């Protein structure tokens, strides 16, 4: 590794940590507040503050650790230059490559600058028109996101699912927990298009299917979204399975309508009516946050004279399995021939291409 490359690595790393002293001061201030006698009088607020402190400390430790590694590498470079040691030079190349890889990942994490990017997310998948074809495609997308979560070590829980009549799903809601879950998954909002030879067509014809993906940031506390009980209509019914038949004797499924906005959420996966109601309220809170985000995006677009696509009018990505294999993101031009890998959860390439193209936008 030449001297120019070494100096670039050291200087870029130093530049990226310039704000860490400010973060350290902020963390110290929060820790001071946590020592106050009345800090735990509001347990929910206290827990959120402690989570924030833990997150900031983790960030500080990561960047300070990287800073120390760069310092050690600088000393090693000077030693190798003085002794012309080939073995030491090989160690430098290896260490520099590892530091550069970590630096690239940390720099990418700086794209998560939105107010909700560090939160958990709810991913809602809806089958489009087309019956069994689209319902099977919706289930493939749900599996893709579950596998992506497994690859990253994120938590993934299906909190609502409506099966299709013959195969697949009509809709599903997946709760995803992990660092920057919403920050990553907001890149998936929009219509996903599949082209393939249908496994349900006896004549083996090529079919095109569509599914809509929504991504919602979860509320962190009840005070964030104020919902009056008078604004809610709650309906209880029996959970249904394939073909719409009732699968439980007791009415445990919940449908909540937020009257002012007309927002409707359902939850039927759990056997407990209380649990289904709790999950439905979390989804409702997330949807109300999303409504405010959409309003903000529309207001900003009006100022800039832009058009904001939403819902079924916004096709973001195509997955072609016949006559060739390709996944293409229409927003960024990202392409890969490894369609099988993408459908098995290898989404990072497409996600990063989109997120780096929208740095600085609060609403993706």
Going by pLDDT thresholds of 50, 70 and 90, the confidence category of residue 156 is very high
Cβ atoms of residues 34 and 46 within 8 Å? yes
CA distance 84 to 51: 48
Locate 242 and state its tokens. 């394939």
Domains in the chain with CATH codes: 3-109 (1.20.58.410), 115-215+313-364 (3.30.70.1660)
With a cut of 70, say whether residue 127 has pLDDT above it: yes
Q: Which tens digit of pLDDT belongs to each residue from 312-341?
A: 778 999 999 999 999 999 999 999 999 999
With a cut of 90, say whether residue 125 has pLDDT above it: yes
CA distance 251 to 256: 14
Q: Which tens digit of pLDDT belongs to each residue from 214-267?
A: 999 998 765 678 899 999 999 998 876 655 454 455 678 899 999 999 999 999
Going by pLDDT thresholds of 50, 70 and 90, the confidence category of residue 124 is very high
Q: Which tens digit of pLDDT belongs to each residue from 82-113?
A: 776 666 777 888 888 888 888 888 888 888 88
Q: Which tens digit of pLDDT belongs to each residue from 255-307?
A: 999 999 999 999 987 778 889 999 999 999 999 999 988 887 777 777 766 65
Helices (H), the chain: 3-16, 20-34, 43-83, 86-109, 132-152, 181-185, 273-304, 339-343, 348-357
Helix and strand numbers, DSSP H then E, in the chain: 9, 11
- The torsion region of residue 204 among left (phi > 0), alpha (psi -120 to 50) and beta comes to left
* pTM, full prediction: 0.76
CA distance 306 to 299: 10
């Amino acid at each position: 590794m030449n001297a120019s490359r070494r100096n670039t690595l050291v200087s870029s790393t130093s530049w990226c940590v310039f704000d860490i002293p400010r973060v350290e001061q902020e963390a110290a201030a929060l820790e001071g507040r946590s020592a106050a006698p009345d800090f735990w009088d509001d347990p929910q607020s206290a827990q959120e503050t402690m989570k924030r402190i833990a997150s900031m400390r983790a960030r500080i430790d990561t960047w300070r650790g990287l800073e120390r590694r760069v310092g050690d590498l600088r000393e090693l470079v000077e030693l190798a230059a003085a002794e012309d040691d080939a073995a030491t030079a090989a160690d430098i190349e290896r260490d520099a490559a590892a530091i550069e890889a970590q630096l690239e990942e940390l720099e990418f994490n700086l794209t998560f600058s939105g107010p909700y990017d560090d939160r958990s997310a709810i991913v809602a998948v809806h089958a489009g028109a087309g019956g069994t074809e689209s319902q099977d495609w919706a289930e493939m997308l749900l599996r893709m996101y579950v596998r992506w979560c497994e690859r990253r070590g994120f938590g993934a829980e299906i909190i609502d699912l409506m099966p299709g009549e013959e195969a697949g799903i009509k809709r599903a809601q997946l709760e995803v927990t992990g660092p920057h879950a919403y920050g990553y998954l907001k890149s998936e909002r929009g219509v996903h298009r599949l082209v393939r030879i249908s496994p349900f067509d006896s004549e083996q014809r090529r079919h095109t299917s569509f599914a809509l993906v929504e991504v919602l940031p979860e509320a962190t506390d009840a005070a964030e979204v104020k919902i009056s009980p008078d604004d809610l209509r709650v309906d209880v019914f029996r959970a249904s399975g394939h073909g719409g038949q009732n699968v439980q004797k007791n009415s445990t499924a919940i449908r909540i309508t937020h009257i002012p906005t007309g927002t409707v959420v359902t939850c039927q996966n759990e056997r407990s009516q209380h649990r289904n109601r709790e999950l439905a309220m979390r989804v409702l809170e997330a949807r109300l946050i999303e409504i405010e985000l959409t309003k903000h995006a529309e207001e900003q677009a009006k100022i800039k004279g832009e058009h904001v696509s939403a819902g079924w009018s916004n096709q973001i990505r195509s997955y072609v399995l016949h006559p060739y294999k390709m996944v293409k993101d229409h927003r960024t031009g990202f392409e890969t021939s490894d369609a099988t890998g993408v459908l098995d959860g290898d989404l990072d390439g497409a996600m990063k291409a989109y997120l780096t193209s929208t740095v600085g936008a609060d609403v993706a």
